[in-house]
Amino acid sequence: MAEITAHHGIVKDTNLHVDDTGGSGRPLVLIHGWPLSGASWSEQVPAFEAAGYRVITYDRRGFGHSDKPLTGYGYDALTEDLHTLLEALDLTDVTLVGFSMGGGEVARYFSEYGAERIRSVVFASAVPPFLLHTPGNPEGPLTAGQAAKMAAQLTANQEKFYDGFVTDFFSANGALVVTEEQRQRALALTTLAKKEAALATMTSFGSTDFRDDLPKVSVPTLVIHGDADATVPFEGSGKRIHEAIPGSELHVVAGGPHGVNVSHAEEWNRVVLNFVSR
């Protein structure tokens, strides 16, 4: 367990909570989804560590056990936090694994910092290239009305909102596909999210356009996505990421919900480990 300090923006000295398995293995940096924390990788960390990798997870600012400033929730700042982590731990030959919202930091990283430290990347149930449905982005699966409704519900009653969101997160075709214990573990992580941070990052992942970032991804890339993802639908996101990055690999998990790394952990881990081992 460690704290890494980011030094940008109006708010200085924002401490990020980091968990690092250590060791001499090649580093895998796992970037969590909204509105969870690094602890959401519990199905992956033991498996990846057992395979010989150094596994690093961290809590995004505003979530988990990281500091919760009032600002810094745009993707440029969040990606700078990721870069700060890589520099502070002096990580090279890194595989970045970005789940859901975390796929945004992966995409933006190449525009801001290039590929010097990066060996490969995984976009997992990820939000790029652009979620918001607009006249210039007709394939975007998120309408302005849906985004506004989510923000209003979270503002009005965050406990009720998160309970429904986490259920949908782990549901395929309207049915929960994880155990109630797994759902409750994820729900507990939402209690550590600062509401202002959750609202600001909701805006960020919903409205940020990564279409110019994706062609700059210049390392081996895996796109993994569930075909029953109702939160970040495959057709509007994973499929388009694969099409935007030449040479990328695609694995679609049959019956996989948004939280497919938990519901289909064995398949998900096997596919990712096979990719990163090359």
Q: Of the residues 100, 120, 125, 171, which is catalytic?
A: 100
Assigned token pair, 80: 């700078």
Pairing relation of β-strands 2-6 and 14-20? Answer: antiparallel
- Residue 268 to residues 71, 126, 158, 224: CA-CA distances in angstroms? 34, 14, 30, 8
Told to judge if 171 belongs to the known catalytic residues of this protein, a careful annotator would answer no
Pairing relation of β-strands 14-20 and 54-58? Answer: antiparallel
Q: Of the residues 32, 133, 258, 264, which is catalytic?
A: 258
3-class secondary-structure state, position 119: strand
Told to judge if 258 belongs to the known catalytic residues of this protein, a careful annotator would answer yes
- Residue 69 to residues 16, 88, 101, 151, 209: CA-CA distances in angstroms? 11, 20, 19, 19, 24
Name 138's Cβ contacts closer than 8 Å, sequence gap at least 6.
Answer: none
- Residue 199 to residues 21, 73, 195: CA-CA distances in angstroms? 31, 9, 6
Q: Which amino acid appears at position 217 of this protein?
A: V
Q: Determine which helix (DSSP H) or strand (DSSP E) holds 221, and give its type and residue range.
A: strand 221-226
Q: Of the residues 225, 229, 263, 264, which is catalytic?
A: 229
Assigned token pair, 197: 């941070």
264 phi, psi to nearest 5 deg? -125, 45
Told to judge if 229 belongs to the known catalytic residues of this protein, a careful annotator would answer yes
Question: Given the structure tokens 């430290």, which residue do they identify?
Answer: 117
Catalytic residue list: 100, 229, 258
